[in-house]
Chains A and B, each alone.
Chain A
């Protein structure tokens, strides 16, 4: 069990640029989740995949955000035309079926200049 892996760990970019983050889940986990955590707050749900199907998106996920999981393995989260308010930690989690808990990666911290 190598755990959930996220890349990069840190990203600094200028406002208006596009960024893409990658998440590699635990290999046998078919469910994958993205959360956003701002400073001093708990994580907030963004979106969720079962295999390659994106089954739910939060209203927090504006049109500038898109997530994919093309082969049901790794996932990418892209933010277009970044804004100051996008500065946050983006966390990925994966799980098996049933009542299995989610296992989190170490996150990607995004800073917008």
Chain B
């Protein structure tokens, strides 16, 4: 069975500072990994995905994530936070076609950006 752990339910950063959101996963097969962002009362928007190509994945809005198999991690970073980055972020894992490509999500990390 697959699972996702996001360390830190809340993260506070200053505008312009580095954003680092941690995600660790477990999977019985090579996983597909995703980061989604959710703004209040909205659905989830895809930031980026890893599907067994390059281990450093670049996404939208300046975010990127690095897949580290040895650490079973897929941490999300952004060099310089903007006020508009305040939202909740979810890491998700899929075991691909064999599991119907359904997603298992972490508990989420809420990001607060201070001016």
Give Cα distance in the complex from A106 to B43, angstroms. 4
Known interface pairs A99-B32, A109-B41; A45-B104 also in contact (CB < 8 Å)? yes
Judge whether A26 is part of the interface by a CB distance below 8 angstroms.
Answer: no
Does B42 lie within 8 Å of A41, measured CB to CB? Answer: no
Contact A45 B101 (CB under 8 A): no
Of B41, B49, B92, B101, most A-chain CB atoms within 10 Å: B101
Contact of A33 among B9, B32, B46, B102 (CB under 8 A): B102
- Chain A contact residues: over half helix, strand or loop, or mixed? strand
Roughly how many angstroms separate A55 CA and B97 CA in the complex, as a whole number?
12
Min distance, Cβ B50 to any Cβ of chain A, angstroms: 10
Do A43 and B101 touch (CB < 8 A)?
A: no
| CA distance in complex: A99, B33 (Å) | 11
Which residues of A lie under 8 Å from residue B106 when comparing CB positions?
42
Residues on A with C-beta less than 8 A from B42 are: 106-107
Whether the Cβ atoms of B43 and A48 lie closer than 8 Å is: no
A4 to B44, CA, bound (A): 11
Interface string of B25-56 (1 = CB under 8 A from A): 00000001010100001111110010100000
Contact for A107 among B4, B43, B92, B101, CB less than 8 A? B43
Among residues of A, the one whose C-beta sits closest to the C-beta of B53 is A99
- How near does chain B come to A87, taking the closest CB pair, in angstroms? 15
In the complex, which residue of chain A has the Cβ closest to the Cβ of B96?
Answer: A99
Interface residue A22 (Cβ < 8 Å from any Cβ of B): no
Contacts of A69 in B (CB 8 A): none
User: Is the beta-carbon distance between B90 and A104 smaller than 8 angstroms?
Assistant: no
For B32, list chain A residues within 8 Å (CB).
Answer: 99
In the assembled complex, 19 residue pairs joining A and B whose CB atoms fall closer than 8 Å, in A order, are: A35-B103, A40-B9, A40-B108, A41-B108, A42-B4, A42-B108, A43-B103, A44-B105, A45-B103, A48-B100, A48-B102, A50-B100, A91-B43, A99-B49, A103-B46, A104-B44, A107-B42, A107-B43, A109-B41
- A residues sitting closer than 8 Å to B (CB atoms) are 4, 6, 31, 33, 35, 40-45, 48, 50, 55-56, 91, 93, 95, 99, 101-107, 109
